[in-house]
Amino acid sequence: MSQAPIATSRSASGIPTARLAVWWVLASEIVIFGGLIMCYLMFRLHHESWAYEAEATKTAAGAFNTFVLLTSSLFVVLAHNAAEKKDTVKAVRYIWYTIFGGFVFMAVKAYEYTSEISHGYTMFKSVFWSFYYLATGLHGFHVVCGMFIMWMISRDVKKGKNLHRVEAIGIYWHFVDVVWIFLFPLLYIAK
Amino acid sequence: MSNSEEHHGHSAKHYVKIYWILLAMLGVSIVGPEIGIKWLTLITAFGIALVKAWMVCAYFMHLNIEKKIAWYTLAATLLLLLVFFTGVAPDVMKPEGQNWKSLYHEQTREEWDAEYDAAHHGDDHGDDHGDGGH
């Protein structure tokens, strides 16, 4: 006899368990990225030279990546919308558009890293560049993880299974977008 | 209330409308700082970033219709960040204390310009120069 575990079928908070789990993950992510951003603010407000160093980052590339992430956020929320209507074909299509957005984002980031490193702006050059590579690298890692999880979920959705997971990965992807919304002005605009 | 019931009010059109508003704000956050006025940069870059983040959280992540427990969970972590900042900033943002002195070398504008020129020496293409206004 097999039964679904109680943890997946009962919700004391009134929030479906998968979604509640994502909120907990995001709460821990807020501490990680928020801690990084707080450190940045402390140094940036105290050291004028960080403004000069930020001049070497490429605003156009950062702005384009913001556009890409906002667009991919739209796609994933449309995938969630389609999954709620049990339109699995549309949901899978939008999930793959989102994954493609992730690829474009990482390609632009790779171009930026290549250009910066070739000009000597490595992560060991200064505290600013250490922060730049740590924050954008950690964010990029989250983008790649999101793409991988979406690929796994798309396989289930194609079979009409676990459609609620589209919402869960969507919430995660929007959070990755929100982090970038803050990193963009900090690293590319505040010069 | 079931998951799908909670979100019945949101159509694809609604999400696309939010998306266009977000793109418009992105445009303002890029153009605003180009004017070069400090307070305008703060409002257009960081003020708009806050509004954009709020819109994504509220309308794409559906926090506007989520149970309050999710809000409390996320708000508690933001409070922790505030504790972290207020606890650490007094030390980090001072150049010296009673028994210590920061050895961090603050680069001057001239030093940075010289280093930038040396790093980009030999570049043939103007579009490969970052956005330093050099």
Domain parsing of chain A, residue ranges: 13-189
Percent of chain B with pLDDT over 90: 44
pLDDT digits (tens, 9 = 90+) for B16-59: 999 999 999 999 999 988 888 888 888 888 899 999 999 999 99
pLDDT digits (tens, 9 = 90+) for A21-31: 999 999 999 99
Please provide the average confidence, as pLDDT, over all residues in chain B.
81
- Average pLDDT of span A7-21: 79
Q: Of chain B residues 93-132, which have a CB less than 8 A from chain A?
A: 93, 104, 106-109, 112-113, 116, 119-120, 128, 130-132
Residues of B with Cβ-Cβ distance to A77 under 8 angstroms: 15, 60
Distance from the Cα of A178 to chain B's closest Cα (Å) equals 5
Q: Reply yes or no on whether the pLDDT at A38 is more than 50.
A: yes
Alpha carbon of residue A6 to chain centroid: 31
- Average pLDDT of span B56-69: 93
CA distance A69 to A49: 29
Q: ipTM value of the model? A: 0.90
Among the residue ranges A64-68, B8-12, B91-95, the one predicted with the least confidence is B8-12
CA distance B85 to B87: 5
Q: Is B120 in Cβ contact with A42 (below 8 Å)?
A: no
- Average pLDDT of span B62-76: 92
- How many CA atoms are closer than 13 Å to the CA of A140, on its beta-carbon side? 18
- Average pLDDT of span A39-67: 89
| Closest by Cβ to A56, choosing from B22, B85, B132 | B132
Distance from the Cα of B9 to chain A's closest Cα (Å) equals 11
Q: Reply yes or no on whether the pLDDT at A176 is more than 90.
A: yes
More confident residue, A80 or B99: A80
Pick the CATH number of A13-189 from 3.10.20.90, 1.20.120.330, 3.40.50.11900, 1.20.120.80: 1.20.120.80
Q: Is A16 in Cβ contact with B12 (below 8 Å)?
A: no
